[in-house]
């Protein structure tokens, strides 16, 4: 029994990989870890104005995030993004701060470019899902590049019931500068 526990502990310790490792090249239940603290430089609260709307990003780092894919389950360190979007009158258009899901998260780090790629699941019913790229310009600024994919409903009433708001409020643009608060 003790030998079995010790063996499992040693195997778990041996299955740590750097952040830039492709998950397809690791054993199941491995840990893709931010060994060089590459993600820390992106954490914080950032704001930008886009088309009259104030967009606030709340970026935090989580360790050991469980990721379950159809082909493999593993753990990873990741950035998690929550956000609020307010119109010019200050009314909240969208707010994910109290959402317990960690579904807007980093999927890749490119330290040589001071960049991360994030997966955005979209708004209600997945509308606007796609990739967001953040580039660290300096200690107080990020550049934003959002590349949405399309969601097509054959029958919105059955595929997205309840008539939820399916407008994408995040800035669909490239080179938008966010400033750290």
Where do the structural domains in the chain lie, given as residue ranges?
2-20+30-180
Q: Please write the tens of the pLDDT for every residue from 74-89.
A: 999 999 999 999 999 9
- 26 touches 42 (CB < 8 A): no
**47 or 154: which leads in pLDDT:** 47
Q: What is the pLDDT of residues 101-122, one digit of tens each?
A: 889 999 999 989 999 999 999 9
Q: Could you tell me which of 117, 129, 123 has the C-alpha nearest to residue 78?
A: 117
Distance CA 45, CA 7 (A): 42
Prediction pTM value: 0.87
Distances in Å between the Cα of 157 and the Cα atoms of 125, 129, 150, 163, 168 are 11, 19, 18, 7, 19
Task: Using DSSP bridges, classify how beta strands 73-86 and 31-33 pair: parallel, antiparallel or unpaired.
Answer: parallel
Give the number of C-alpha atoms closer than 13 A to the C-alpha of residue 143, restricted to the C-beta side: 10
CB neighbour burial string for 18-39, b if at least 16 within 10 angstroms, e if fewer:
ebebebeebeeebbbbbeeebb
């Amino acid at each position: 029994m003790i030998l079995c526990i010790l063996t499992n502990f040693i195997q778990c310790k041996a299955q740590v990989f750097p952040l830039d490792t492709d998950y397809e090249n690791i054993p199941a239940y491995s840990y893709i870890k931010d060994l060089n603290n590459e993600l820390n430089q992106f954490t914080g609260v950032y704001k930008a104005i886009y088309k009259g709307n104030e967009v606030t990003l709340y970026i935090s780092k989580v360790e050991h995030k469980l990721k379950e894919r159809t082909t493999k389950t593993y753990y990873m360190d990741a950035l998690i993004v929550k956000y609020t979007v307010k119109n010019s009158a200050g009314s909240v258009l969208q707010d994910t701060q109290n959402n317990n899901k960690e579904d807007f998260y980093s999927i890749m780090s490119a330290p040589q470019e001071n960049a991360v790629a994030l997966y955005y699941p979209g708004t209600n019913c997945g509308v606007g899902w796609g990739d967001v790229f953040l580039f660290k310009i300096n200690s107080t600024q990020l550049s934003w590049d959002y590349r949405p994919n399309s969601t097509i409903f054959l029958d919105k009433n059955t595929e997205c019931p309840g008539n939820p708001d399916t407008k994408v409020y995040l800035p669909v643009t490239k080179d938008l500068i966010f400033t750290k608060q």
